[in-house]
Protein backbone atom coordinates (compact mmCIF):
# COMPACT_ATOMS: atom_id res chain seq x y z
CA UNK A 1 0.00 0.00 0.00
CA UNK A 2 1.58 3.30 -1.09
CA UNK A 3 1.75 6.15 1.32
CA UNK A 4 2.52 9.80 0.83
CA UNK A 5 6.20 10.41 1.44
CA UNK A 6 6.78 13.01 4.09
CA UNK A 7 10.46 12.35 4.59
CA UNK A 8 12.78 14.23 2.23
CA UNK A 9 12.52 13.04 -1.38
CA UNK A 10 14.05 16.04 -3.17
CA UNK A 11 17.71 15.72 -4.10
CA UNK A 12 18.25 19.47 -3.95
CA UNK A 13 15.54 21.04 -1.77
CA UNK A 14 16.87 24.59 -2.06
CA UNK A 15 16.99 24.37 -5.83
CA UNK A 16 13.37 23.24 -5.96
CA UNK A 17 12.20 25.96 -3.60
CA UNK A 18 13.98 28.65 -5.57
CA UNK A 19 12.53 27.31 -8.84
CA UNK A 20 9.03 27.33 -7.34
CA UNK A 21 9.28 30.93 -6.20
CA UNK A 22 10.94 31.99 -9.46
CA UNK A 23 8.18 30.41 -11.46
CA UNK A 24 5.66 32.74 -9.82
CA UNK A 25 7.74 35.88 -10.32
CA UNK A 26 5.86 38.73 -11.94
CA UNK A 27 2.46 37.07 -11.65
CA UNK A 28 -0.53 38.75 -10.03
CA UNK A 29 -2.07 36.81 -7.10
CA UNK A 30 -4.81 35.62 -9.46
CA UNK A 31 -2.28 34.41 -12.00
CA UNK A 32 -0.32 32.67 -9.26
CA UNK A 33 -3.47 30.89 -8.17
CA UNK A 34 -4.09 29.77 -11.73
CA UNK A 35 -0.54 28.52 -12.01
CA UNK A 36 -0.83 26.63 -8.74
CA UNK A 37 -4.02 24.99 -9.97
CA UNK A 38 -2.26 23.82 -13.13
CA UNK A 39 0.67 22.60 -11.05
CA UNK A 40 -1.59 20.58 -8.77
CA UNK A 41 -3.27 18.91 -11.74
CA UNK A 42 0.00 18.11 -13.51
CA UNK A 43 1.61 16.66 -10.39
CA UNK A 44 -1.52 14.75 -9.36
CA UNK A 45 -1.60 13.02 -12.72
CA UNK A 46 2.08 12.18 -12.39
CA UNK A 47 1.54 10.66 -8.95
CA UNK A 48 -1.54 8.77 -10.15
CA UNK A 49 -2.04 6.77 -6.95
CA UNK A 50 -5.43 7.75 -5.55
CA UNK A 51 -4.51 6.73 -2.04
CA UNK A 52 -1.41 8.93 -2.03
CA UNK A 53 -3.44 11.78 -3.49
CA UNK A 54 -6.14 11.45 -0.84
CA UNK A 55 -3.54 11.53 1.89
CA UNK A 56 -1.92 14.60 0.32
CA UNK A 57 -5.32 16.31 0.15
CA UNK A 58 -5.94 15.57 3.82
CA UNK A 59 -2.53 16.78 4.94
CA UNK A 60 -2.76 19.90 2.80
CA UNK A 61 -6.18 20.67 4.20
CA UNK A 62 -4.94 20.14 7.75
CA UNK A 63 -2.11 22.55 7.08
CA UNK A 64 -4.53 25.45 6.43
Partner 1 sequence: MADADYQALEFPYRPHPDARAAMPARHPVVVVGAGPVGLTAAIDLAGRGLPVVLLDDDCRLSTGSRAICFAKRTLEIWDRLGLGQRMADKGVSWNVGRIFFQDGEVWRFDLLPEPGHRRPAFINLQQYYCEGYLLEHAARRPGIDLRWKHKVVGARALADGVELTVETPDGTHALHADWVLACDGSRSPMRRILGREAHGRVFRDRFLIADIRMHADFPPERWFWFDPPFHPGQSVLLHRQPDDIWRVDFQMGWDADPVEAVKPENVLPLLRALLGPRAEFQLEWVSLYTFACERMDCFRHGRVLFAGDAAHRVSPFGARGANSGVQDAENLAWKLEAVISGAAPEALLDTYCLEREYAADENILNSSRATDFITPKSEVSRLFRNTVLKLARDHPFARALVNSGRLSVPSAYRTSPLNTPDADRFEGPMAPGTVALDAPVLRNGRPDWWLAQLPGDFMLAVFCDDPRDADRGALEDLARDDVPVRTILVRGAESPPGAHEDGIAQVVDAEGWLARRYDGRPGTCYLIRPDQHVAARWRRFEPRRVRAARDCALARGDAHDFPASGARA
Residue ranges binding partner 1 (CB under 8 A): 33-34, 37-38, 40-42, 45
Helix, strand, coil percentages, rounded to 5, for the chain: 65, 0, 35
Closest to partner 1 by CB, 18 vs 50, is: 50
DSSP string, 14-28: HHHHHHHHHHTTT--
**Smallest separation, CB 37 to partner 1 (Å):** 4
> How many whole angstroms separate alpha carbon 32 and alpha carbon 9?
25
Closest to partner 1 by CB, 14 vs 30, is: 30
**Smallest separation, CB 28 to partner 1 (Å):** 14
Amino acid sequence: MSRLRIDLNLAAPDDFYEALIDAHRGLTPEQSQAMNAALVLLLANHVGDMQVLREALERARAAV
